[in-house]
Every structure is written in C-alpha cells, then in structure tokens.
Structure 1
Amino acid sequence: MTRRCTATTRTFTAGAYGTERVVHDPLTGLTHRAGTEVGSGRIRLPDADVASWLEIHPAAVHADEPISVCWSPLVRCDLTCPHCLDDKSVSELARSDRRRIAHLLAESAVLGVDISGGEPLLLRELPELIDILVAGGSAVSVTTNGTHLARRVEALASRVDAVRVSLDGPDAERHDHWRGTGSFDHAIAGIRAAVAHGIPTQIQTVLLRSTAEASVRPMIELAAALGLHGVTFLQMLLIGEGARLAGDEQLTDVEATDLLADLTTSSPVPVRLRTREAAGGFTVIRADGQVWRNQPGAHSITSLRPLRGVIDLALTARDGSA
C-alpha cells in the first residue's frame, strides 16, 4: 500500500518486457506498470505520476532476469541489531570481486540495485561501485543505518539515486533500545545531511509487535518534519539473525495491513507497507558472491549459485521464481 503527496521529479529506470513496459522506483523498491509512453534506461519522471501507476509484483513480469536486486557486499556493521536480516557466518569477498560483481550487474538487464549490508557506508570503494552500476543503466539506492551518512554524503550526492535509512523508533529512547546509545542522533544527522544535498530519502522501519502500535504514527510525523519522501514499514522476515525474534515480535501480514490502513489516506507523507508476501521471490546477492532468492512468502532464503556471469542471475523454474 502506498500514498504519495510530494511533487518532485527524480530518477527511475524503465524497461520493456514483451509488450509490457515497467518502471522501477529506487526509493521504494517498487515496480510499476508504465501509465504512459516512457523511454528505456535511467529516466527522470514526476514522482506523483509514477506513484499513480499500477504497482505490480516483479514476478508478474515475464522477465529472464530480476527487475531489481538487493546487493549486500559486506556483513560488517558498526551496530548489532537483534532483528538483522544478515547471516554473520557468510564470508566477504575481496575488493576485486566486489568490483567484478558490480560490472556483472551493470551488464545485466537488472533495472535497480539496492546496496545494503551489513553497513554499506563502511566500504571505501562504495562510490566506485555506484558509478559502475549507474554507467550500466541501473538506478541505485543505498540502505544504511545512517551512522556514517553525514560524513559520506558529499560523495553519494552526485551518484546515488535514493537513500533508505533504517530507524527502529521515532526518538532516541526507542531507537537506541535496539541499536545502541547515540545511534539515533547519528542517523538523524545523516538524514538531515542527505536532504540538504538533495538526495531522495526515506525512512525504513521493521514492524515489531512490541513497538509497532506506539511508534507507527510518530515515525510518520518524524518523516514529515524532516522533509522526507516517506516511510516504508517492513514486515519482519524469518531470515538471518532476526529469525530468533519471530515468535515474540512477528506480526501477520493481515495485522500489519490493519495497523496501517487508516494512515494510507491521512498521512502527511507517503506510506508504504512491504508485506512478507511481497518480499517473496526477491533476489539477493550476498557478501559471499552467491545469488540467493527469498522463497514464496519470504519464510526462508535459499542460496542458488555463485555469481560468475550474468546467466547466474537468471530466473528459472528450479529457483521457485516466476
């Protein structure tokens, strides 16, 4: 579910699949069926126009490769969040291999790459990796905890198409409970810096049973006060270290939808809910260079093969993907 009220023009990517033309939004990660004639590749479009176009699950598009991927080139992080999606036992490839994977993605038909982690801003070569992806025609977003965003924002501003900052509470008391003392202030400083540099920015927050009801509306109000492009509420996934919290903290998709229902029409900023169902079938490239795929319903994630060539991104029947 999504609602937008911000009138801006920013970068998207468009591609043709048979007779269907779709647009990928690097800020939200959503795929839309183009509502008018658009070109291919990286294009500038009005935010409100794209938001009004039909949202479709990428699996509904008959593509040979994923529409978008999440690339987690490292597992290192300066925080230790208990609901982290990462498996810290996954090894990290060398810098030269990260560059190789960036070039492979640039050669592919993938429209959007979200660089995540771990904490991607710990990578010194992050600007170089973004440049490679953009040169190949992808829209690029970075998902970060925000701790290092203020000091790295100048290098990102001329490169990245969107930034998604993870928050677990609308104030220091609630956020720092999960992420450590001082993490909220660092994240807010990073968000303010990204906005000041003109980077399309949104908050992402994982819905937890113990905090969701009290935090949802204040989180939306915080996003509005910071001048952000919106908030995406993420359903907790049974993946990585966070799986051990599922019994106590996981909401059903129905509960999450009901929780946010009235806010989709009354929110001062765009609001989106990513259900577990919507996360099913999504492609992840982890730090070990393996292609992973969320299983239907995102109840687990399966390692498929090493990413040695573009062909290894292929969506095939044996992957359980469309």
Structure 2
Amino acid sequence: MTERRTATTRTFTARTHDTGLIIHDPLTGLTYRADAELGSGRVRLSDADLDSWPEIHPAALHADMPISLCWSPLVRCNLACPHCLDDKSVSELARPDRYRIARLLAESAVMGVDISGGEPLLLRELPELIDVLVAGGCAVSVTTNGTHLARRAESLASRVDAVRVSLDGPDAERHDHWRGKGSFARALAGIRAAVAHGIPTQIQTVLLRSTARAGVRAMVDLAAALGVHGVTFLQMLPIGEGAALADTEQLTDDEATDLLADLTTISAVPVRLRTREAAGGFTVIRADGQVWRNQPGSQAITSRRPLLEINDLALTTRDGSA
C-alpha cells in the first residue's frame, strides 16, 4: 500500500513477459505491469511513472524463474536481533563461491536481487559482487542494519540501485532495546550518508505486537524527517531465529492492515505493508548456497536444492512439481 511518491528518477528493471511489460522496483521489491514502450533491461524511470501502472504479485505471472529474490551471502553480523530471519547455524561458502553465485544470478532471468545477510556491509567484496549483478542487467538493492553504512555509502553510491535500512523503533530507546546500545545512532548516520550520496533509501521495520501500535506513526515521521523514499512495514515471519518469538509477537495480516490503514493517506512519505501472505513463495539463497523458498503464508521456509546452475532457481522442478 503506497500513496505518495517523490519526483525522483531511479533505476528499475524491465522485461517483456507473456502478459506484457513487467517492471521491478529494487527499492520496494514490488513488481508492476507497465503500459509503456521500453526495452528490456535496466531503465531509468520516475517514481511518478509507476502511479498509473498496476502492481502485480510475481506469482500471478506464472514465470519459470523468480522475478526477484533475496541473496544472503553471509551469516556474520555485528548485531544479534532476536527476530532475525537468518539461520545462524548455516555455514558460509568461500569467496570464490560467492562470485560464482553472483555470476549465475547475473546470467539468469532474475530481474532483482536484494543482498542481505547477516550484515552484507561486512563483505569486503560487496561492491564487486554488485558490479557483477548489475553487468548482467539485474536491479540490486542491499538490506542492512545501517551501522556500517556511513563508511561504505560512498563506494556503494555509484553501484547499488537502492538501500533498505532496518529500524526497530523511531528512537534509540525502542530500537536499541532490540539491536543493542548505540545501534540507532549509527543506523541514522548511515541513512543520512546514503541520502547525501544520492542512494535511493527506504526504512524497513518489522511489526512486533509489543511495539507496533506505539511506534508506527513515529517511524513514518522519522522517515520524512530523514528524507528517505518511504517506509515498508514487514510482517514478522516465524523463520530463522525469529521463530522463537512467533507466539508472542506476530500480528495477523488483518491486524497489520488495520494498524496502517490511515497512514497511507496522511503520510509525507510512501508507506507500504508487506503481509505474510504476500511473502509466500519468495525465493532466498542462503550463505550455504542452498535455494530456499517461503511456504504459502510464510509460516516456514523450505530448502530446495544447492545453486549449481541456473535451472536450480526454477520455480518448478524438472518433473513439474513446485
């Protein structure tokens, strides 16, 4: 759900599909069916261009390959968030394998890759991995806790198409409760650096029952004050380490929708909700090189197969099963 957009020109990816031209937005992860004459590949568009195009869930395209996916090339992180989606028991592949996976993704039909973790800004070779993906025509975003963003924003500015910074509260008291003392100040410094370097930036925040009702409006106000491109509220997924909090912290999709309903019309920045239902079927490549997929309703995630060739990304197996 988004209402207001700034008149900003950004990079998207476009691809001709059986149903028409499809646009992927690396900032929000959303997919649109476009009524426009554009070539396939990386394209520059205004946010305003999206207003007349309908959003479409990738599953409705019945594509053979994911439209977009999340790649978590490492499990290492400088924070220890209790609602983390990652499984810290997963082993990390060596650096050559990370380049191998980047090349496979660049050669695939995947339109968008969000590099996450762990904390992706701990990877020294992150700029080079982004370069490989961009050279293959992908739109690339990085999801980060923001604490290392201030020192790395300059090197990312000429490469990455969007940065998504995770915040768990609109102030240090509420954010640091989940992520550790001083993490809020460092994340805000990172957001300001990204904005100053012209990187399209949005805030992402996980909706938790214990904090959501008191903090959503303040989070949107903070986003407006920082000059970012919007806020995405994410429904908590009972996946990875966050599974331990599921019973006490999950909101239903209906509760989350009601909670954010008025913000879409009164906010100075775009506000979006990603429901658990919408996250169903999403593809994740974890640090061990295994392709994982969210189950319908995103109540669990299932390991599919190791990523050894492009066909290992396929949404159906060779025998036709999902």
- What TM-score do the two structures reach when normalised by structure 1? 0.98
| Aligned length, in residue pairs | 321
2:222 matches 1:222: yes
Task: Find the counterpart in structure 2 of residue 257 from structure 1.
Answer: 257
- How far residue 19 of structure 1 moved from its aligned partner, in angstroms, is 3.7
- How far residue 5 of structure 1 moved from its aligned partner, in angstroms, is 2.5
2:303 matches 1:306: no
TM alignment of 1:182-201, pairs within 5 A = 182-201=182-201
What SS does the aligned partner of 2:233 have? strand
Task: Find the counterpart in structure 2 of residue 90 from structure 1.
Answer: 90
**Equivalent position amino acid for 2:191 in 1:** I
Q: Structure 2 CA distance, aligned partners of 1:165 and 1:51?
A: 24
Contact 1:295-1:320 within 8 A present in 2 as well: no
TM alignment of 1:75-154, pairs within 5 A = 75-154=75-154
- How far residue 35 of structure 1 moved from its aligned partner, in angstroms, is 2.7
Contact 1:106-1:135 within 8 A present in 2 as well: yes
Q: Structure 1 CA distance, aligned partners of 2:281 and 2:272?
A: 19
Contact 2:145-2:165 within 8 A present in 1 as well: yes
- How far residue 52 of structure 1 moved from its aligned partner, in angstroms, is 3.6
TM alignment of 1:12-27, pairs within 5 A = 12-27=12-27
What SS does the aligned partner of 2:131 have? helix
**Equivalent position amino acid for 2:170 in 1:** P
What SS does the aligned partner of 1:265 have? helix
Q: 1:32 to 1:132 in 2, by over 3 A?
A: same
- How far residue 100 of structure 1 moved from its aligned partner, in angstroms, is 0.1
Between 1:49-58 and 1:206-215, the stretch displaced more is 49-58
TM alignment of 1:281-296, pairs within 5 A = 281-296=281-296
- How far residue 224 of structure 1 moved from its aligned partner, in angstroms, is 0.2
Q: Structure 2 CA distance, aligned partners of 1:298 and 1:27?
A: 21
**Equivalent position amino acid for 2:306 in 1:** P
What SS does the aligned partner of 2:209 have? coil
**Equivalent position amino acid for 1:276 in 2:** R
Q: Structure 2 CA distance, aligned partners of 1:131 and 1:270?
A: 29
**Equivalent position amino acid for 2:85 in 1:** L
- How far residue 40 of structure 1 moved from its aligned partner, in angstroms, is 0.7
**Equivalent position amino acid for 1:121 in 2:** L
- How far residue 320 of structure 1 moved from its aligned partner, in angstroms, is 6.9
**Equivalent position amino acid for 2:230 in 1:** G
Q: Structure 2 CA distance, aligned partners of 1:319 and 1:237?
A: 28
What SS does the aligned partner of 2:159 have? coil
Between 1:45-54 and 1:301-310, the stretch displaced more is 45-54
Note the residue ranges of structure 1 that are not aligned, 5 or more in a row: none
What SS does the aligned partner of 1:251 have? coil
- How far residue 17 of structure 1 moved from its aligned partner, in angstroms, is 1.6
Q: Structure 2 CA distance, aligned partners of 1:12 and 1:52?
A: 16
Q: 1:183 to 1:313 in 2, by over 3 A?
A: same
Between 1:17-26 and 1:188-197, the stretch displaced more is 17-26
Q: Structure 1 CA distance, aligned partners of 2:298 and 2:51?
A: 25
**Equivalent position amino acid for 2:11 in 1:** T
- What TM-score do the two structures reach when normalised by structure 2? 0.98
**Equivalent position amino acid for 2:96 in 1:** S
- How far residue 228 of structure 1 moved from its aligned partner, in angstroms, is 0.6
2:269 matches 1:272: no
**Equivalent position amino acid for 2:297 in 1:** G
Q: 1:26 to 1:320 in 2, by over 3 A?
A: farther
Q: Structure 1 CA distance, aligned partners of 2:267 and 2:85?
A: 28
**Equivalent position amino acid for 2:291 in 1:** V
**Equivalent position amino acid for 1:224 in 2:** A
Q: Structure 2 CA distance, aligned partners of 1:32 and 1:82?
A: 33
- How far residue 2 of structure 1 moved from its aligned partner, in angstroms, is 1.6
Q: Structure 1 CA distance, aligned partners of 2:321 and 2:254?
A: 24
**Equivalent position amino acid for 2:43 in 1:** I
- How far residue 319 of structure 1 moved from its aligned partner, in angstroms, is 8.8
**Equivalent position amino acid for 2:261 in 1:** A
Contact 2:232-2:274 within 8 A present in 1 as well: yes
**Equivalent position amino acid for 2:86 in 1:** D
Contact 1:12-1:139 within 8 A present in 2 as well: yes
Contact 1:279-1:297 within 8 A present in 2 as well: yes
What SS does the aligned partner of 1:3 have? coil
Q: Structure 2 CA distance, aligned partners of 1:52 and 1:213?
A: 32
Contact 2:101-2:307 within 8 A present in 1 as well: yes
Contact 2:21-2:36 within 8 A present in 1 as well: no
Q: Structure 2 CA distance, aligned partners of 1:28 and 1:167?
A: 15
What SS does the aligned partner of 2:305 have? strand
- How far residue 81 of structure 1 moved from its aligned partner, in angstroms, is 0.3
Q: Structure 2 CA distance, aligned partners of 1:99 and 1:224?
A: 37
Q: Structure 1 CA distance, aligned partners of 2:108 and 2:4?
A: 31
Q: Structure 2 CA distance, aligned partners of 1:152 and 1:320?
A: 42
**Equivalent position amino acid for 2:119 in 1:** E
- How far residue 38 of structure 1 moved from its aligned partner, in angstroms, is 2.0
